[in-house]
Amino acid sequence: MFRYILRRLLQMVLAFFGTTLIVYALMFAGQTDPIQALAGERPVTAAQRAYLTEKYHLDQTGVGGFFYRYFDYVRSLLQGDLGQSLTGRQIGDILQQAWPVTVKLALIALAVAVIFGVTAGVIAGIRRASIFDNATLVLTLLVLGIPTIVLAPLAQYFLGVRWPVFPPTAGAEPSFYALLLPGIVLGSLSLATALRLTRTSVAENLRADYVRTARSKGLVKRRIVGIHVLRNSLIPVVTFLGVELGNLMSGAIITEGVFNIPGVGFNLFRGIRTEDGPLVVGFVSVLVVVYLVSNLLVDVLYAVLDPRIRYE
């Protein structure tokens, strides 16, 4: 097990540099005129342009310029310096501010998906073709069909403004309660998928040979479902949720915008809009690490759930 994890960690280093190189290249290729993007529709003075060009090496173009800037970036990255955004803020500081709130939001969303999705999925799987099963089918289809860009403002309007159950926006240092509504909105999509996955998996496992054996041994139903079926059924769900954790953190651009949460999604969006290469690469690098670590966790969890799986 230890050797397996070590090997995976070493692979992660390679994957990390590979992805930053690609992201950096993409940002570099997409960049037209970051200085004008920063100024908006205002004319940029020559002095200002010269100053920014020199500060961010923007005069280095072409393939040679790309490698010059990339290696410059990696060199300072290895020294723990993520560089400065185009507005002159330390990207390390921005990251430090943006991550906690996004992590909180993602955890709430994940908790919502696990608690409601898995529970309802198990019930629907046991009582196949019941009213509950059909009702969840319709509901989940509905949720899967409505994109977040519609769902989030609707939830905000009805639960924040019309009937003020929740505060309409969360802000930079939100309380748990203020994050609940964005968390539910963000988690609803994963909830629906997790529910469908669990339901199918449970329904299938209930017909498996080992369940019949357990039943004929005279085990109580609660133990059959709670221990044997659930553990086997959770493997696909865990895979899904592991990947979803990464998605929740990076894909919250819409939710964070609607509920005014200055987290990772918002900063990524701003970085892309203003062609702020260092900012985007900084955030994506951390996202890559999150993905890699959550994938590793998922793989390790397999062994916990299914003792037949062994890593060497």
Partner 1 sequence: MRVRRLAAWTALPLAVTLGLAACGSGGDGGSGGSGSEAVSIQIAEPQHLVPTNTTETSGSQVLAGLFAPLVDYDAQNKPYEVAAESVTSSDNKVWTIKLKDGFTFHNGEKVTSDDYINAWNYGAYAPNGQGGSYFFEKIAGYQDLQGEKPKAKEMSGLKKLDDLTFQVTLSEPYIDFKTMLGYNAFYPLPEAAFSAPGVLKDGYEQAPIGQGPFKMKGTWQHDSKIEVERYDAYPLEKPKVQSVEFRVYQQLTAAYADVLADNLDVLPTIPTENLSTAPTDLGDRYQTSPMSSFQFLAFPTFEKEYSNPDVRKAISMAIDRDEIVNSIFKKSQTSARSFVSPVLPGYRENTTGAAGEFNPTEAKKLYQAAGGPSKITISYNGDGGHKDWVDATCNQLKANLGVDCVGSAEPKFSDLLNKVEKKQPVGLFRLGWVMDYPSMEDYLGPLYSTNGSSNYYGYSNPEFDKLVKEGSAAPTQAEAIKKYQQAEDILAKDMPVIPLRFGENVFGHSSKVSNVEMDLFQRVNLVKIEAAS
Contact residues for partner 1 (CB under 8 A)?
A: 32-33, 36-43, 45-48, 50-52, 55, 87-89, 93-94, 97-98, 108, 111, 153, 156-157, 160-161, 164, 166-178, 231, 256-260, 262, 266-267, 269-270, 273, 301, 303-305, 307
Minimum CB–partner distance for residue 188 and partner 1 (Å): 17
The smaller minimum CB distance to partner 1, of residues 238 and 288, is found at: 238
Q: Residues near 230 by Cβ (< 8 Å), separated by ≥ 6?
A: 122, 202
Residue 149 near residue 256, CB atoms below 8 Å: no
The smaller minimum CB distance to partner 1, of residues 254 and 281, is found at: 254
Minimum CB–partner distance for residue 4 and partner 1 (Å): 15
The smaller minimum CB distance to partner 1, of residues 13 and 111, is found at: 111
The smaller minimum CB distance to partner 1, of residues 140 and 278, is found at: 278
| Best CA proximity match to 40, nearest among 286, 273, 265 | 273
- The radius of gyration of the chain from alpha carbons, rounded to an integer in Å, stands at 24
Minimum CB–partner distance for residue 169 and partner 1 (Å): 5
Q: Which pairs from 47-53 meet CB under 8 Å and 24+ separation?
A: 52/86
Cα separation, 256 vs 22, whole angstroms: 26
Minimum CB–partner distance for residue 92 and partner 1 (Å): 13
The smaller minimum CB distance to partner 1, of residues 6 and 172, is found at: 172
SS3 80: coil
Q: Residues near 161 by Cβ (< 8 Å), separated by ≥ 6?
A: 168
Minimum CB–partner distance for residue 215 and partner 1 (Å): 21
Residue 110 near residue 187, CB atoms below 8 Å: yes
